[in-house]
Amino acid sequence: MKNRFLLSILLVAASVTTCISFCACNKIDIKEYPPAPTAYKYQVDGSIALSSAETAPMGNLSRGFRGETYITLGRDEAYPDSNEPYMQKLDNELKRLEADGIKIMQVYVYLIEYYNTSIPDSAFAQLKEYFQVLEQKGIKILLRFAYETNEGQKTGPKTSDIERHCAQLKEFFKDNLNLFNKTVYALQMGLIGLWGEGHGSVHRHNVGRVIKAVADMTPKDTPIMVRTPQMLSQVPKDIEDRFGMHEDYVIGYNDPWVAIATDDKNYYAVTNKCKYAVTDGEMPWGRAGVPIDTIGSLKTAADFAMTSFSLAHNYTEEGEHNLKAWQSEYLTEQDLKDNNLPYNPALLTNGKISAFDYLKYHLGYQLVASNLEIKDGRASFMITNYGFACPYGYDMKIFVDGKQVTTQEEYSWNNLTQFGQSVFSFAYDGGDIEVEFVNRRDSADTIEFFNDVPYENGRNVIYRAK
């Protein structure tokens, strides 16, 4: 009994030490970004029909709920020492979440086999084949590299090892750029500590050096995320626009494990910056039994402008958990208004929506065209973003009668952040009006509007000429 008591004390002490290390109150220093809007400025009219919950498109890529899977390079194994083949793990997770229409998988690539040596060509061939399989399945990847998985682990990379691997990965990505752009929608910095979350590592690391190595290895225009505001503060200011965050402890209230407390003096600066980047989130595992506050968690997802959210955690793993319960937990329109949560009124049924469906529809971008006006040789319309996040990395094109036109106003995804609206006007002398949002890294990745209009060859036909 005495030994068990002492072991408990040691485990608590280790846990507290890790937590303090993770949440160390280092200075937060990020660039100042324009205040993102907190309310819609213009009324959305009925000139272009909006989708209902029954007709809402769910095929848009690079946003929404995601699954989670693993591959350990150098082995036919998913999670290190799991003895589960990595392809089997992938297939099992896709099957488990098939009903949810998962189009994003968070992929952990474990490099522990090569923690103190170079990655061999055979491992890169294995990784390329894995990316090709995901491409064939129409899955986008949220990518994270990591090494360590167990507290008390004796082996792990030094900073110089991580830098060597980043240099190798840079060449791999360069040689397979088209495959990378078609599959990887964003990259989490990872690499440091347990599961790549930045804490509990065998060796102390120079975070600034790792950030620079990751930025250098990652192809142009690919969003990168870090785990904490303190890490974000170490990103060189000239490349900070590429970086967002991933909040991996969404519980809806303040706790030592959250990325930043809501009463922290830097909370607004951090979350406002996230409106202009790509961010992601997840809850702790359901089996951990951590209480989850529904409204608080949704506000965290909105505050951090989350693009995707994990269904691997706290959903149906080893039983049913909070996210599953959210399917029958309803929010009224007044709940959404009272908490200043962005929402699309057309998706409410009898004035309410389940917490699960609210999150499903509003993660990432949710674009709606409205306020169409054609008069005196000109046409104009408005784009409203009902989602949490801006359409980062997407360029807009407008076509009249099949020909691209120039608008009087300049398009920028930074103007379509949460609560963002943009009006576009152009010369018009007849013909269909089509709008295309296309990912600059993957031309096959286009955005379907939440409008009941034709969506043809990646274009939303917002006006059909008679």
The DSSP secondary structure of 196-256, one letter per residue, reads TSSSS-SS---HHHHHHHHHHHSPTT--EEESSHHHHTTS-GGGGGGEEEEE----SS--T
Collapse the DSSP code of 413 into the 3-class scheme (helix H, G, I; strand E, B; otherwise coil) and give the result. Answer: helix
Give the pLDDT confidence score for residue 338 in this predicted structure.
98
Name the DSSP letter for residue 76. S
Give the pLDDT confidence score for residue 26 in this predicted structure.
67
Q: How far apart are CA 446 and CA 151, in angstroms?
A: 42
Give the pLDDT confidence score for residue 125 in this predicted structure.
98
DSSP string, 329-355: -EEEHHHHHHTT----GGG-BTTEEEH
Residues 287-301 have a mean pLDDT of: 97
Tell me the percentage of the chain whose pLDDT exceeds 90.
91
pLDDT digits (tens, 9 = 90+) for 149-158: 988 888 999 9
Give the pLDDT confidence score for residue 466 in this predicted structure.
79
Q: How far apart are CA 346 and CA 50, in angstroms?
A: 7
| In the predicted structure, residue 250 carries a pLDDT above the cut 90 | yes
pLDDT confidence of 430, banded at 50, 70, 90?
very high
**How many CB atoms neighbour CB 23 within 10 A?**
18
| In the predicted structure, residue 350 carries a pLDDT above the cut 50 | yes
| In the predicted structure, residue 11 carries a pLDDT above the cut 80 | no
| In the predicted structure, residue 88 carries a pLDDT above the cut 90 | yes
Give the pLDDT confidence score for residue 294 in this predicted structure.
98
| In the predicted structure, residue 4 carries a pLDDT above the cut 60 | no
Residues 101-110 have a mean pLDDT of: 96
Q: How far apart are CA 251 and CA 253, in angstroms?
A: 6
pLDDT digits (tens, 9 = 90+) for 161-195: 999 999 999 999 999 999 999 999 999 999 999 99
356, with CB counted inside 10 A (0-12, 13-18, 19+), is: buried
Q: How far apart are CA 261 and CA 178, in angstroms?
A: 40
Contact 177, 219 (CB under 8 A): yes
Residues 403-417 have a mean pLDDT of: 96
Contact 326, 297 (CB under 8 A): no
| In the predicted structure, residue 86 carries a pLDDT above the cut 50 | yes
Collapse the DSSP code of 9 into the 3-class scheme (helix H, G, I; strand E, B; otherwise coil) and give the result. Answer: helix
189-218: burial string, b at 16+ Cβ within 10 Å, e else: bbbbbbbbbbbbbbbebbbeebbbbbbebb
181: which 2 tokens? 């752009």
Which DSSP helix (H) or strand (E) runs through 269?
helix 267-274
Q: How far apart are CA 339 and CA 331, in angstroms?
A: 11
pLDDT digits (tens, 9 = 90+) for 23-73: 444 689 999 999 999 999 999 999 999 999 999 999 899 999 999 999 999
231: which 2 tokens? 């890490």
pLDDT digits (tens, 9 = 90+) for 375-402: 999 999 999 999 999 999 999 999 999 9
Mean pLDDT of the chain: 93
pLDDT digits (tens, 9 = 90+) for 261-281: 999 999 999 999 999 999 999
pLDDT confidence of 96, banded at 50, 70, 90?
very high
How many helical (H) and strand (E) elements, i.e. helices and strands, does the chain have? 12, 19
pLDDT digits (tens, 9 = 90+) for 205-243: 999 999 999 999 999 999 999 999 999 999 999 999 999
Give the pLDDT confidence score for residue 154 in this predicted structure.
86
Rounded to two decimals, what is the model's pTM? 0.92
Residues 443-462 have a mean pLDDT of: 97
pLDDT confidence of 15, banded at 50, 70, 90?
very low
414, with CB counted inside 10 A (0-12, 13-18, 19+), is: middle
Give the pLDDT confidence score for residue 22 in this predicted structure.
46
| In the predicted structure, residue 13 carries a pLDDT above the cut 60 | no
86: which 2 tokens? 């990595």
